[in-house]
Structure 1
Amino acid sequence: MMALPAFAAEYGEPDITPQTTMGEIRSNPSILGAGVWTYSKEQNLPGTEDWCNDQTLEKYVSSYVAQDCADGLNLLIRNYNAGVQITYKLYSEQEIAEDSSRNNVEFYYYPASTPDAKYALVLSGNILNRTAELKECISTAYQLHQKGYAVFVMRYRAYPDNDNNGPVEDIARAVKYITGHAQQFGVQTESYALIGYSSGGHLAGLFASDALGYKNYGLPKPGAVILAYPIVQFAEITPIYRVGTDPFVCGRFYYEYSLADLITEDYPPVYFWYGRDDLTLNLLCWPLQGPALSKALAAHGVPYKEVVYDHAAHGISLGRGTAADGWLDEAAAFWEEQTK
């Protein structure tokens, strides 16, 4: 902060707490300048721009993760104030002109403290057009930064812009960009981790597969796949996705695949966890979710660790104060062990 130039008044203070309102966060000059998306509950809903401005950050993201999210936002502000570019668009102006939905695709960069670091690409879950970059990803970015990693928080296309396998293409774009600019970002191109929550876990898992993932784009294999309460397949709601997203179009799309069916012998090592009382996974047919993934990984000899908690609800992210509290420490240790 002491090195800021004379126009430092254009910068915001890294003083966000769980009780800071969303309106205050969104008006922080450094949050505005960094270009970070803070409207995950209001995405693509006209007239809702001020809907949650009176909510505290804790109310917006939940008490399970509020302090971690505040810490992540403050780290982002400090990085921006120090001259770090935070937001990177992943499609060119011409590509966006051809398909305006690509304008939403970007990542937010959290540099590591030391060069040549491993990196993680973090994907939130989504319910239709409602996403969780703040709740799940920025909180995770802060904790991974504390462990010495570089982190890229992904914003991929969600409904109604997720047609034609767009989200998988978005992940490929992110990994390609990071790989091509590894020296600029100070990261290793190999041994990276894909971290996905809920439906973001489904996407991360698909990208790690031979059928839909990194090999099809000529990209490095992930060093580890880390999944929190992942949706392995969408079960009975798959036809609804098809009708609402890709009607009258031939072909098979990402949401029609079970991740368990795409596991092969050379699939990357996997750490995943979920709760037995996870209502979402139970509604999507429990045997087709974590149990199916565990069976497939074991059948193909893929190194993995499955953690099943008796009480861990869907969408709790880092799960502070729950049975899942501390899972990210264990997952990072697994990642290190598999890539040492």
Structure 2
Amino acid sequence: MEITENTKVGELIDSGEFGLFADYFWSYITEDHRNNTLSSYGFEKCGFVPALQRVKALADGPDGGRDKILPIYTAQEMYECHEKDQAKLLHFPATEKNAPYALIIPGGGFARQWGLIEGMAIAERLNRHGYACFVLYYRTAQHPVIDKALEDVYRAISYLDQNADALGIRRNDYILGGFSAGATLAGEIASDNLGWHAKNLPRPRMIFLGYTAERMDLFYQAWAKAPEGSPARLGSAAFLSRLVGENISLEALEPYCLEHYLSRENCPPLYFVANEDDPVVPFVNSQSLRARCEELSIPVRTKFGRVGGHSFGVGDGLEVAGWIEDMLEFLHR
């Protein structure tokens, strides 16, 4: 099919051209997203055309790409806890064997995942630079869910390390990143309390965070100050309850305030990309985290734009365009 700015998400899913990958364009997809055109998300900035071309190539074959969809838990673990069946890796292999690899974590407010924009499009771009990529689908849409989602991240890191030879990737040579809620998860791997060091996992060479949500104190204040029953309060409550449950408090949110748990010794180099006009996750999250990194002498680089909003993914045509290449240059400096 021809992919244009007027193509609807539902048309992509129903076309059959993208095999089983189509089930992961949006998790828990609703009719509003099915009926949206690609232009409503930003046709150019999200890199839809090259991403979908790559997905189509991976899905070509009688199994629709089934061999590229990897469960990270064992059959016994999924039997004992059925919801762990939701946790999957979508494999975008590199051309060469023994490749470095990237673990990519899409966002979606812990309610769903924007897998096409914040996962597959990023994987396609990193594939061009020789990286094997794995897009993580973690547990969402529960109250609370963040600790379960983090468990899925930990397992994904372990799974890739343990299966490196079979997957054609270079053990311990990986970067990790995420977007929005996915960046919250990715960022925690840098933390002293919930990160790679505390969980005895391989250290990432770098972590990249797109429009990250980490100032949970600010999200709490926005919730607490909003009038009862207002859209602002209801929206904030929905997000915060997916983190910590119905009993929302600063104490419960504190472990997920990343900048409070960073150290020069354990934090890998960090890269941030965001826009000042983000209407969903306030830009101050990225600003504050950068300031904390500079205070602790943690290697950090940022690419910030004035305009471009939220959920831009690869960001083509925006001020932040080329951030993936800039991030890789920082990594290999």
TM norm. shorter chain > 0.5: yes
Asked whether 1:92 is paired with 2:74, we answer: yes
1:142-291 correspondence runs (5 A): 142-160=124-142, 162-163=144-145, 165-238=147-220, 240=237, 243=241, 245-247=244-246, 256-266=255-265, 267-282=267-282, 287=284, 289-291=285-287
Is the contact between residue 275 and residue 309 of structure 2 (CA under 8 Å) also seen in structure 1? Answer: yes
TM-aligned CA distance change 1:210 to 1:79, over 3 Å: farther
The 1-side partners of 2:80 and 2:258 are apart by 31
Q: TM-score, normalised by structure 1?
A: 0.80
SS in 1 for 2:170: coil
* CA shift for structure 1 position 290: 1.8
Asked whether 1:305 is paired with 2:301, we answer: yes
- In the alignment, which residue of structure 2 is the partner of 1:45? none
SS in 1 for 2:273: strand
1:7-22 correspondence runs (5 A): 17-18=3-4, 20-22=7-9
* CA shift for structure 1 position 130: 3.1
- Residue 109 of structure 1: which of 69, 75, 91 is its match? 91
Q: Deviations over 1:301-329 (max 9, x none)?
A: 21111222222312111112211111111
SS in 1 for 2:281: helix
* CA shift for structure 1 position 78: 4.4
TM-aligned CA distance change 1:276 to 1:39, over 3 Å: closer
The 2-side partners of 1:148 and 1:235 are apart by 39
TM-aligned CA distance change 1:320 to 1:314, over 3 Å: same
- In the alignment, which residue of structure 2 is the partner of 1:316? 312
SS in 1 for 2:213: coil
* CA shift for structure 1 position 276: 1.9
1:75-86 correspondence runs (5 A): 75-78=57-60, 85-86=67-68
TM-aligned CA distance change 1:35 to 1:91, over 3 Å: farther
The 2-side partners of 1:106 and 1:281 are apart by 26
Indicate the larger mover: 220-229 or 209-218: 209-218
* CA shift for structure 1 position 79: 8.1
The 2-side partners of 1:91 and 1:140 are apart by 24
TM-aligned CA distance change 1:96 to 1:259, over 3 Å: same
Is the contact between residue 136 and residue 317 of structure 1 (CA under 8 Å) also seen in structure 2? Answer: yes
The 2-side partners of 1:54 and 1:137 are apart by 21
The 2-side partners of 1:82 and 1:115 are apart by 23
- Residue 12 of structure 2: which of 21, 25, 28 is its match? 25
* CA shift for structure 1 position 234: 2.7
The 2-side partners of 1:106 and 1:30 are apart by 21
- In the alignment, which residue of structure 2 is the partner of 1:37? 24
- One-letter identity of the residue aligned with 2:82: S
- In the alignment, which residue of structure 1 is the partner of 2:323? 327
SS in 2 for 1:85: helix
SS in 2 for 1:148: coil
Q: TM-score, normalised by structure 2?
A: 0.82
Is the contact between residue 144 and residue 241 of structure 2 (CA under 8 Å) also seen in structure 1? Answer: no
SS in 2 for 1:281: coil
TM-aligned CA distance change 1:115 to 1:25, over 3 Å: same
* CA shift for structure 1 position 190: 1.7
TM-aligned CA distance change 1:59 to 1:312, over 3 Å: closer
- One-letter identity of the residue aligned with 1:31: F
- In the alignment, which residue of structure 2 is the partner of 1:11? none
Q: Deviations over 1:159-182 (max 9, x none)?
A: 216536011111111111110010
- In the alignment, which residue of structure 2 is the partner of 1:123? 105
Asked whether 1:64 is paired with 2:45, we answer: yes
TM-aligned CA distance change 1:264 to 1:79, over 3 Å: farther
Indicate the larger mover: 76-85 or 189-198: 76-85
Indicate the larger mover: 292-301 or 25-34: 25-34
The 2-side partners of 1:140 and 1:79 are apart by 23
* CA shift for structure 1 position 141: 0.6
- One-letter identity of the residue aligned with 2:320: A
Is the contact between residue 123 and residue 155 of structure 1 (CA under 8 Å) also seen in structure 2? Answer: yes
SS in 2 for 1:192: strand
Query: Whose RCO is larger (CA < 8 A, sep 6+)?
Result: 2
Is the contact between residue 191 and residue 224 of structure 1 (CA under 8 Å) also seen in structure 2? Answer: no
Indicate the larger mover: 103-112 or 241-250: 241-250
- In the alignment, which residue of structure 2 is the partner of 1:8? none
* CA shift for structure 1 position 35: 7.5
* CA shift for structure 1 position 28: 4.9
- One-letter identity of the residue aligned with 2:259: A
- One-letter identity of the residue aligned with 2:332: E
